[in-house]
Amino acid sequence: MEPKNDTEISKFLLLGLSEESELQPLLFGFFLSMYLITVCGNLLIILATISDSHLHTPMYFFLSNLSFVDICLTSTTVPKMLVNIQTQSKVITYAGCIIQMFFHIIFAGIDDFLLTVMAYDRYVAICHPLHYMVIMNPWFCGKLVLASWIIFVLYSLLQSIMALRLSFCTHVEIPHFFCELNQVIHLACSDTFLNDLVSYFASMLLGVGPLTGILYSYSKIVSSIRAISSAQGKYKAFSTCASHLSVVSLFYCTILGVYFSAGATHSSHSSAAASVLYTVVTPMLNPFIYSLRNKDIKRALKILFH
């Protein structure tokens, strides 16, 4: 019998991180705290960069955009999970699942692209300091951010439309805390070859491409720093990109952790637990990484609070 799209099935069940009832209050408090810290921390970064004219530079322009995207990325997944825990319900509507998946792809992709752009910004600042303001002019920076939005909105729209054409039968349980693309596709009872093919090529182009750009930028940065004669000059040059390098390492290590954990254990619940790292933990830590050792951000925050 040919599988068909069952119109009676209008919802999915998000199984979450754990089905043990005694752990639900602990998970609720844990994720609510992390969500509030993420929103407040990134919002402070945005307000600090806007309020302080000394931070109206390309680096902090990209940082404020990264903070905004981090807030959006966390807001696509955590609030729904908190509502489900509080109401003791695992239900998410079919439309809600597609919408959540749509926005998650957008913000996760833009996050990755912005980290690549920030690596290029550091490359120009260190390797071509005399031409920095000419190359990284406001018009060019704005076009880079706009391009990232256009690319990932179109890509997410493509993936969502392709997911809509899939037929879902009776198995509607998603062993995750949000509607992750691969989890939704693998629930389909129709042919998913085209979806898998698009996901594969997109991961190579939109995933490996930015990582290659980051590695290339930092290879040039390391070469330039090694050419500096004084130790103080080397330290000053490296300190300008230390925070970004920390965020990049955290982001990609957690992403790789998701795929390696899923591949090693073949457990969707393990993949869901690993996904917490890049969807919740990384956006929460970014403001701390950029502010703890950054004198400009500290000064801007002091001015903001006063």
Angle at 279 between CA 275 and CA 282, to 5 degrees: 105
Q: Give residues with Cβ within 8 angstroms of 306, minimum separation 6.
A: none
**Which pLDDT value is given to residue 216?**
94
Reported pTM: 0.90
Locate 130 and state its tokens.
């005399």
Picking from 51, 49, 75, the residue whose alpha carbon sits closest to that of residue 64 is 49
Give the separation between CA 54 and CA 98, rounded to whole angstroms.
Answer: 41
The dihedral of CA 155, 161, 165, 167: what is its sign? positive
| Spans of all domains in the chain | 11-305
H helix or E strand, kind and range, residue 90: none
DSSP state of 92: E
- Helices 209-227 and 94-127: angle between axes, nearest 10 degrees: 20
Q: Which two tokens stand for residue 84?
A: 């489900």
User: At 294, phi and psi to the nearest 5?
Assistant: -110, 110
The DSSP annotation for 258-287 comes to HHHHHHHH--HHHHHHHHHIIIIIHHHHHH
**Cα–Cα distance measured from residue 207 to residue 258, given in angstroms and rounded to the nearest whole number:** 14
CA distance 87 to 81: 10
91 DSSP β-pair partners: 13
The hierarchical CATH code for the domain 11-305 is 1.20.1070.10
Among 287, 271, 270, 276, smallest CA distance to 74 is for 276
Q: Split the chain (306 residues) into runs of 10 and give each run's mean pLDDT.
A: 49 85 90 96 93 90 95 95 91 93 95 94 92 94 96 95 87 86 87 89 85 92 85 78 84 71 54 80 89 80 80
Instruction: Extract the tokens encoding 277.
Output: 């790292």
What are the E-state strand segments in the chain? 11-14, 91-93, 173-174
Integer Cα distance of 265 and 281 in angstroms:
22
> Length of the chain, please?
306
In contact, 243 and 146? CB cutoff 8 Å: no
